[in-house]
A and B are shown apart, each in its own frame.
Chain A
Amino acid sequence: DTEVTQTPKHLVMGMTNKKSLKCEQHMGHRAMYWYKQKAKKPPELMFVYSYEKLSINESVPSRFSPECPNSSLLNLHLHALQPEDSALYLCASSQSDRVKLGYGYTFGSGTRLTVV
């Protein structure tokens, strides 16, 4: 299995809702990532998990709460989002979070989130 699977593919939520995005990989990768991408912009790093521990939080607002229950799963819990949080949320994984070693990232297809 060489894929990263993200669910759901599309999500519409109100500003008072609580929802979760899910990401799964079975490649034995020990690093997993959340990126946010606005239209016609590059992906921006949100969180990095290494060996199931949060290693980087790019000053993301607390309404986004990541969770890594095990080495194959990564969740992003959403609460009290704003319309400007509407974006494509991408999950990725790699063999190691030591980016200077040069491991490529495998990306999922993303969750298109719309906050109304």
Chain B
Amino acid sequence: SQQGEEDPQALSIQEGENATMNCSYKTSINNLQWYRQNSGRGLVHLILIRSNEREKHSGRLRVTLDTSKKSSSLLITASRAADTASYFCATDRRALTFGSGTRLQVQP
């Protein structure tokens, strides 16, 4: 069963704009991970944030975590057409449990 809900479900932006995706989850966590999936392919690990961290950066990615609100956000800055993909948050339930995902379309 899904642990988290993501919004928006779909997001369309122009190249160069920033993209923000939000994830809400239900139970307490030790860490939260974000993954990317190109259409019909496997998932790629992007970044992990631990429950004692509030913010983490990796290249053009910025992840925040608010454990009091049980929510996380993923910001992609200066987006590129190649960023077009689905993005999933995943929480550490029995095994990685994925949120509903955000489909990002970056228009060139």
Q: Would B30 and A43 count as touching, CB distance under 8 A? A: no
CA of A87 to CA of B31 in the docked complex: distance in angstroms? 28
Residues of A within 8 A of B88 (CB): 42-43
Interface residues on A, range: 20 to 34
Interface residue? A14 (CB, 8 A): no
Interface residue? B45 (CB, 8 A): yes
Residues of A within 8 A of B95 (CB): 33, 45, 48, 56, 97, 99
Among the 9-residue stretches B13-21, B54-62, B68-76, B97-105, the one with 4 or more Cβ atoms under 8 Å from chain A is B97-105
Q: Would B93 and A43 count as touching, CB distance under 8 A? A: no
Q: Would B30 and A45 count as touching, CB distance under 8 A? A: no
A8 nearest CB across to chain B (Å): 14
Q: Would A42 and B2 count as touching, CB distance under 8 A? A: yes
Residues of A within 8 A of B99 (CB): 42
Q: Would A104 and B48 count as touching, CB distance under 8 A? A: yes
Q: Would A108 and B2 count as touching, CB distance under 8 A? A: no
CA of A21 to CA of B94 in the docked complex: distance in angstroms? 24
How many A-B pairs with Cβ below 8 Å?
Answer: 65
Count, chain B residues at interface, CB 8 A: 26
Interface residue? A90 (CB, 8 A): yes
Q: Would B40 and A88 count as touching, CB distance under 8 A? A: yes
CA of A92 to CA of B88 in the docked complex: distance in angstroms? 15
A43 and B48 contact, Cβ closer than 8 Å, known pairs A100-B30, A108-B42: no
| Contact with B43, one of A44, A56, A90, A97 (Cβ below 8 angstroms) | A90
- Tell me which of B31, B43, B95, B101 has the highest count of chain A C-beta atoms within 10 A of its own C-beta: B95
Interface residues of B (CB under 8 A from A): 1-2, 30-31, 33, 35, 40-45, 48, 50, 88, 92-101, 103
Interface residues of A (CB under 8 A from B): 4, 33, 40-45, 48, 56, 88, 90, 92, 97, 99-102, 104-110, 112
Q: List 13 A-B contacts (CB under 8 A).
A: A42-B98, A43-B43, A44-B98, A48-B94, A56-B95, A102-B31, A102-B50, A104-B33, A105-B35, A107-B35, A107-B43, A107-B44, A112-B40
